[in-house]
Chain A
Amino acid sequence: MNARLMVTSAALALVAGAAQAEDLTLCWAAWDPANALIELSKEYEAQSGNTMHFEFVPWTSFADRMLNELNSGGKLCDLMIGDSQWIGGAAENGQYIKLNDFFDANGIKMDDFIPATVTGYAEWPKGTPNYWALPAFGDVVGWTYRKDWFARPELQAEFKEKYARDLAPPATFDELKQIAEFFQNRDIDGKTVYGASIYTERGSEGITMGVMDVLYSFGFKYDNPEKPYDMEGFVNSESAVKGLEFYKSLYDCCVPPGSSNGYMGEGVDAYKSGQVALQMNFAFTWPGFNTDANVGGDKTGYFANPAGPNGDKFAQLGGQGISVVAASDKQDAALTYIKWFAQPDVQAKWWKLGGYSALRAVVEDPGFATSQPYAQTFLDSMAIVKDFWAEPSYATLMQSSQKWFHDYVVAGNGTAKEALDGLVADWHATFEEEGKY
C-alpha cells in the first residue's frame, strides 16, 4: 500500500512538474518592435502561467552577442528571434530545433505566411520544406520622404522647371538621385537640409544592406542560377558595377555631412531632426515616424524601392523568425509560446501594436492596406524582396562585403569593378573553405 502511494505521489509530482510554470527568456534586438512584443507577451503570460523575460541587444552588437551565445551553447535564450541570415548556420550546427513535427502537430501551416518570409526566415536549405523558425517579424528596406516639402508650390515649380516632371516619389533610382540632388544643401525654413540618408555603417552589416538594396534592381545576382556558388560575371557583372557606382554617387552627392558610418539609428535621427528629404530604412522605423511630433502624420510619405535601369524592382529583406534554441532546457514551454504567437488573433494584435505580422490572414485582410499610411508600401515592398546569403558562413561573407563596399563607397579607394572583383575573390575563398567547389 505504501509503495503504491509513493508511486502515485511520484507520478503526480511529475505531472505537476510538467505543468509547472516556467521562466522563459526570449532574445531579440533592442528596438521599438521589441517593446511591442513585451506588451503582446503579457497575454501569453496570463494564459500560460509562464513568465517571460527578455534579453534585447542593440542592433550593432546583436549578431556578435547572440551568435556568441548560440555558438557557445549558452542557455541564456530559450527563444531566439534571430536574423534571417543566421538560419543556415543555426540549422546546420544544431543550434535551433527543427519545427516541422511541431507545426504538423499543432496545425501551423507555412502556407498561411507570406511566402518570402517563409523562405527568408524559416527554411533551410532554401526552397525545401525544412522549417527552423516561425516567421515573426516581416521587414524590408524602403524609403520615407518629406511629403510636406514635396507639397510646397515653390519647390514643385522649381523642380518641374529643372527636371520637367512633378516633384513626387521617384519611379526609378535616377529620379531618386535627382530629388536628392535637388534638396541637397537647400535652405528650408532657414535651415540647411540634405538629399538623402543612406546606410554606410562599417562595423556590422549596415553598408551591405544599403548597397544590396540598390544593387538588386540594377541586375546584381549572388550566383549563376544554373550553377550555385559560381559568382564570376554575376556578382561583378557590368550592371552590378553600375549599381555600385550609383550608390557611391548618391553618397558623394547627397548625404548630410559626416554620414560615413550610419545605419538604422542614424537614419532615424537624420530624418526626425529634419535634415533630409529622403531616407532609406527598414520598415520597422515607419510606425515611429508616423507618430513623431516633428515629422509625423501628413508630413511623411512612404515608397517602395524604385526601379533600376532595366525596370527591375527589388528590395533588401529584413525581419526575423522565432526559433527555439536547442541548448534550452525549456523547449516544451518555449514551443507553447510559438504556438500561441502563431494564432491569427495574436498576429492581428501584433500588427496593431507595431509589429509587422507575416501572417497572410493579417496582411491580406481588406482593411490592412489602409490601416496605416505605410501599410500599402510595406505590402508592395514585401512583394519584391531578396536576401543576403543565409549560408552557415554568412558572417564571413558579410564581413567581406562590408570591407569592400565601405572601402569603395566611403573611403573612395579603387573602382566599383575592383571592389566587386575583390568581393568575388573573397566570397570564392570562403566557399572554397566550405567545400562548395
Chain B
Amino acid sequence: MPDPFQRVAAATPPKLAHQIRGLSDRTIAWLFVAPTIFLLLAVNIFPLLWTIRLSLTNFRTNRPNNAVEWVGIENYRKILTNPDTWASLQATAHFLIWTITLQVLIGFTLAYLINKKFRSNDLWTTLIVLPMMLSPAVVGNFWTFLYQPQIGLFNYFIAFLTGADPASFSMIGEVALAPWAIIIVDTWMWTPFVMLICLAGLRSIPPSIYEAAECDRASKWRQFWTITLPMALPFLMLAVLFRGIENFKMFDLVVQLTGGGPGATTQLTSIDLKREAFEKWRTGYASAYAVILFVTVFGLASIYVKALNKVKDR
C-alpha cells in the first residue's frame, strides 16, 4: 500500500504537479503566508500609515468640501502643549496605576486561596469569575444604580460602615470620589481575569519543588518568597501587561459610569480622543493624538515585554 504522500502526489493533476515542482520551498512558504500578510497590510499597516498621513493635515471628516492642507507637525505641537491632553493622561495614569495594583494584589491573593484544596473550590472559582463575563456596558449601567445616593446599595454599605448619610455623597458626581468610583468598578470586573492567569501560574509549579522545600524544613513564608512568587512572576507580569493595555484604552465602562465627568475628572485619553475624532470631527488632530497614544503604548509594551522575557529566562 503506497504511503499518504505517494497517494497525494498521484492524485495531483499532472499540470498542477508540474507547476508546483518548479517552485522553490521559499516560494511555497511565501504562498502560504501571503494571504496573512495581505490581511495584516490591509487591516493594520495601511490604516496606520493613513492615520500618520492624516495626522499631518488639517483634514476634517465633516468638511468634505474643504481643501485639505498639509500642516506638518502642527497637530502634534498643539496636542503636546494642550493642558487638557496632559490632564487626560494624568487621569489615565491614575486609573491605570491603581487598577493594576489592586487587581494584582487581590487577584493573586484570590488565586493563592483558590489554589488550596477545599470543598466547593470549583463553585467559588465560578462565582468569582462571573463579573468578567458581563458586558462592560451592563456593568457600567448597574453600577450607576449601585452608586446612586438615594437608592444605591454601595452608598448604603458605606453608610452602614461609617455612619454617614448615604445621600450625603455621590461616588460618580464628586471630583474627589469619581476617579475611585471607576477604579472600584474596573477592579470588581477584571480582578477575576488576573486571578485566572495567576492560578494558571500557581498550578504550573511542580509539587515536587514544595516537597523538596518541606524536606529542607523551609517555612511557608520562605516557600512563598523563594518558590511561589518567583515561579508565578512571569504569569503575574503577563496579567499586568494585558490589563495595562486594556485599561490604557478603557472607554465603555467609564463613559457609562461618569461620561468623563464631573468636569473632565475621569476623561481618560480614549474618551478625549473619541471626542476629538467623532464629536468635534477634527480628524487630522485626532489622528495625531492616536499616533501619540500608539507610540506611547507600543514603547511601554516593548520595554515591558523585554523585562518579561528576562524574568522568564531567569
Contact = CB atoms under 8 A, between A and B. Distances in A.
B275 A411 contact: no
Interface in A17-62: none
Contact of B281 (A201, A259, A395, A403): A395
Contacts of A203: 255, 259-260
Contact of A201 (B64, B148, B259): B259
Interface in A379-431: 392, 395-396, 398-399, 403, 406-408, 410-413
B280 interface: yes
A112 interface: no
Given A71-B62, A93-B64, A202-B259, A260 B173 contact: yes
Interface stretch (B47-55, B182-190, B262-270): B262-270
Contact of B261 (A63, A71, A410): A410
Interface in A82-104: 89, 92-94
Contact of A411 (B147, B149, B259, B261): B261
B280 A396 contact: yes
Interface in B126-158: 147-150, 152
A261 B279 contact: no
Contact of B170 (A73, A257, A395): A257
Contacts of B62: 67, 70-71, 89, 93, 392, 395
Contacts of A64: 278-279
A28 B64 CA distance: 23
Contacts of A257: 149-150, 167-168, 170
Contacts of A93: 62-65
Nearest to B266: A202
Nearest to A94: B65
B230 to A, nearest CB: 45
Dominant secondary structure of chain B at its interface with chain A: loop
Contacts, number: 99
B173 A258 contact: yes
Contact of B258 (A261, A275, A395, A399): A261
B259 A410 contact: no
B263 A413 contact: yes
B82 to A, nearest CB: 11
B144 to A, nearest CB: 8
Given A93-B64, A93-B65, A411-B175, A260 B280 contact: no
A407 B264 contact: yes
A145 B274 CA distance: 38
Choose among B84, B255, B258, B280 the residue with the greatest number of A CB atoms under 10 Å from its CB.
Answer: B280
Interface residues of B, number: 33
Contacts of B302: none
B249 interface: no
Of A89, A203, A256, most buried by chain B (CB within 10 Å of CB) is: A203
Contact of B279 (A89, A259, A399, A411): A399
A309 B45 CA distance: 60
A224 interface: no
Contacts of B170: 257-258, 260
Contact of A403 (B147, B258, B263, B282): B263
A365 to B, nearest CB: 40
Contacts of A92: 65
Given A203-B255, A396-B282, A260 B261 contact: yes
Contact of A261 (B175, B259, B278): B259
Contact of B264 (A68, A261, A403): A403
Contacts of A395: 62, 279-281
A433 to B, nearest CB: 8
A68 B168 CA distance: 40
B92 to A, nearest CB: 17
A396 B148 contact: no
A413 B259 contact: no
Of A63, A72, A410, chain B has the most CB atoms within 10 Å of the CB of: A410
Interface in B37-96: 61-65, 84
Contacts of B261: 202, 260-261, 406, 410-411
B260 A411 contact: no
Nearest to B65: A93
B172 interface: yes
Interface in B166-198: 167-168, 170, 172-175
A95 to B, nearest CB: 9
Nearest to B174: A260
A256 B167 CA distance: 9
Contacts of B84: 403
A72 B173 CA distance: 35
A68 B149 CA distance: 36
Contacts of A413: 175, 263
A64 to B, nearest CB: 6
A425 B65 CA distance: 27
Nearest to A429: B78
Contact of A410 (B152, B168, B173, B282): B173
A412 B282 CA distance: 29
A102 to B, nearest CB: 22
B65 A202 contact: no
Nearest to B165: A257
Contacts of A72: 61
Given A410-B261, A413-B175, 13 more contacts: A67-B281, A89-B62, A93-B65, A202-B263, A203-B260, A257-B149, A257-B168, A258-B167, A258-B173, A395-B279, A396-B279, A398-B279, A403-B84
22 contacts: A64-B279, A67-B281, A68-B278, A72-B61, A73-B64, A93-B62, A94-B65, A201-B259, A202-B261, A202-B263, A256-B150, A260-B170, A260-B174, A261-B173, A261-B259, A395-B281, A399-B279, A406-B261, A406-B262, A408-B263, A410-B173, A410-B261
